[in-house]
Amino acid sequence: MKKEKTFLKDPTFDSAVAATKKDGGVYITLQNGGYVKCVCSRERKKATIDFDLYTDTCNLDLSPETQERLLDYHRDYVRGPFIDSGYVGPIHCTFADSMVHFEVLPQDAEEWFQRMLTTFNNRARMIEVWPKRAAA
């Protein structure tokens, strides 16, 4: 039996973490009606946020300029608050066409989560992939 997809229309980082624990991930509805897959987790010292834009209703990718801007912003964040917190260990980030994966401090996860949703909903920061992708 195929499991139903869990959708969140007005998600928070905490609601995405709860859905990830329950269902292994969640689908987030964007303003244009499309959706992206999201997997989030919170550990004691870091939070992980993953978005997969490769879905059957999302035909948008991050623009190269947006990828570079997000990477620079995250790099500055790692050199500042992450290092200042005393965190020791690997810190990952990928801002690619249709995949986003990064780690932040738990107390900053909501801000970063909402920043990504704002980015996905801003057509100027995305590029259209045509024709639409096949179902993922």
Instruction: State the SS3 of 82-124.
Output: HHHCCCCCCCCEEECCCEEEEEECHHHHHHHHHHHHHHHCCHH
| Model pLDDT for residues 70-95, shown as the tens digit of each residue | 999 999 999 999 999 999 899 999 99
What pTM does this model have?
0.90
pLDDT in tens, 111-120: 999 999 999 9
Where do the domains of the chain lie?
Answer: 7-128
